[in-house]
């Protein structure tokens, strides 16, 4: 197993309330080499918190979280995170931003540039290498975000709702693009989203989280062959899986609302 989580409990520190919130309460999962997994769940269910822990940005309270059998306790180059906000350095060009992570690897200058250039091209931004982030559209900024994470050649790609802030059309284009790029690299990927269609379209397996505190509620296999065209979203099998997940989340969201009003 590439990535393994056993009864992972995470408390999330809330600055505003000055307390520790139980965000994830015993998440268990196994993610295999080269697998694309999507995690969905009602909002606030701790899925982003979980991903941050996988990236090593948050400590876990108990349980075990391992990558290739080694416990995760800090960020590292074996994981690459694509954040929800593009979070690009505004004073660096597209090229400079993709270069940023590669520079931190300590590669020689020329080699680093060659790597960065390859990934700028892979995400289709070769014409914008010298543009600044603020000159780009939201979709293009997320392409840079993706290229930056891929450029450090991580073993696992972590994506935290990267397309949530994009408009519907751009989001679909980016989903398609992501699959195209993923097909070239076939990296193990963990994709957080609240968009069920997106999850089913992209993933080999979809993991449904319960309402907060998050736990794995069920895991569904998406047995739809690749490569997938966007039209697959209209297939009966696709809609069937989508509906199952929708009902599952619906149940959780209702439970959450009841708990909140009780």
Partner 1 sequence: MAERVEEPIKYDTVPSYPGELMGTGQRALPGDLVATRVPHDSPLRTTPLPPQNWFQKHEALIIGTVAVVIFFVAWQAVGSARIVSRLFLPAPTDVIEAFTELVKDGELAQDLGYSGAEFGIGYVLAAAVAIPLGLLLGWYPRFRYALDPFVTFLYATPRIVLLPLFIIWFGIGMESKIAVIFLGAFFAILINTTAGVRNLDAHLIKVARSLGAGDLVIFKTIALPGSVPFILTGLRLGIGHALIGVVVGELVAAQHGIGRMMAIAGATFQSSKVFAGLFCIAAAGMLLTYALQRLERHFDAWRPQR
- The binding site for partner 1 (CB under 8 A) comprises 55-57, 75-77, 79, 81, 83, 85, 87, 89-93, 100-101, 104, 132-135, 148, 152
Q: What is the β-pairing status of strands 36-40 and 205-209?
A: parallel
Tokens of 33: 């080499």
6 CB-near residues (< 8 Å, 6+ apart): 28, 63, 64, 65
Question: Residues 253, 43, 223, CA angle at the centre, nearest 5°?
Answer: 80
**Shortest distance, CB of residue 98 to partner 1, whole angstroms?**
11
**Nearer to partner 1 (CB atom), residue 57 or residue 254:** 57
Helix residue ranges, H only, 56-167: 94-105, 109-122, 138-151
Residue among 134 and 236 whose Cβ is closer to partner 1 = 134
Give the separation between CA 213 and CA 49, rounded to whole angstroms: 11
In a 13 Å sphere around the CA of 111, the CA atoms on its Cβ side amount to: 8
CB nearer to partner 1: pick between 35 and 55: 55
Minimum distance, C-beta of residue 105 to partner 1, in the bound complex (Å): 8
Write down the least CB distance from residue 259 to partner 1, Å. 30
Q: At what angle do helices 109-122 and 138-151 cross, to 10 degrees?
A: 140
- Closer of 105 and 219 to partner 1 (Cβ): 105
Smallest distance from partner 1 to CB 89, Å: 6
Toward partner 1, which CB reaches closer, 42 or 86? Answer: 86
Q: Return the C-alpha torsion angle 196, 202, 204, 207, nearest 10.
A: -30
Q: Which is nearer to partner 1, 31 or 54 (CB)?
A: 54
User: Which residue, 68 or 257, has its beta carbon nearer to partner 1?
Assistant: 68
DSSP state of 155: S
**Least distance between partner 1 and beta carbon 208 (Å):** 26
Whole-number minimum distance, CB 153 to partner 1, in Å? 12
β-sheet with 205-209: strand ranges across: 79-82, 156-160, 188-192, 36-40, 205-209, 216-221
Q: To the nearest whole angstrom, how small is the minimum distance from the Cβ of residue 87 to partner 1?
A: 4
SS3 of 94-122: HHHHHHHHHHHHCCCHHHHHHHHHHHHHH
């Amino acid at each position: 197993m590439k990535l393994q989580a056993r009864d992972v409990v995470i408390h999330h520190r809330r600055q505003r309330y000055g307390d520790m919130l139980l965000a994830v309460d015993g998440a268990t999962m196994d993610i295999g080499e080269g697998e694309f997994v999507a995690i969905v769940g009602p909002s606030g269910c701790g899925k982003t918190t979980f991903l941050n822990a996988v990236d090593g940005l948050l400590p876990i309270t108990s349980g075990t979280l391992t990558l290739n059998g080694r416990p995760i306790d800090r960020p590292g180059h074996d994981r690459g995170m694509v954040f929800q906000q593009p979070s690009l350095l505004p004073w660096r060009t597209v090229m400079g931003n993709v270069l940023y992570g590669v520079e931190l690897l300590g590669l020689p200058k020329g080699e680093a540039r060659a790597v960065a250039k390859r990934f700028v091209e892979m995400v289709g931004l070769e014409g914008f290498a010298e543009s600044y982030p603020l000159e780009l559209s939201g979709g293009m900024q997320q392409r840079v975000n993706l290229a930056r994470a891929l450029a450090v050649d991580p073993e696992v790609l972590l994506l935290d709702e990267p397309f949530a802030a994009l408009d519907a059309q751009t989001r679909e284009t980016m989903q398609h693009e992501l699959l195209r790029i993923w097909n070239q690299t076939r990296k193990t990927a963990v994709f957080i989203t609240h968009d069920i269609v997106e999850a089913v379209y992209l993933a080999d397996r979809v993991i449904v989280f319960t309402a907060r505190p998050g736990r794995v509620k069920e895991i569904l296999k998406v047995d739809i062959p690749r490569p997938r065209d966007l039209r697959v979203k209209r297939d009966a099998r696709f809609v069937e899986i989508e509906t199952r997940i929708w009902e599952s989340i619906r149940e959780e969201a209702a439970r959450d609302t009841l708990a909140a009003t009780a």
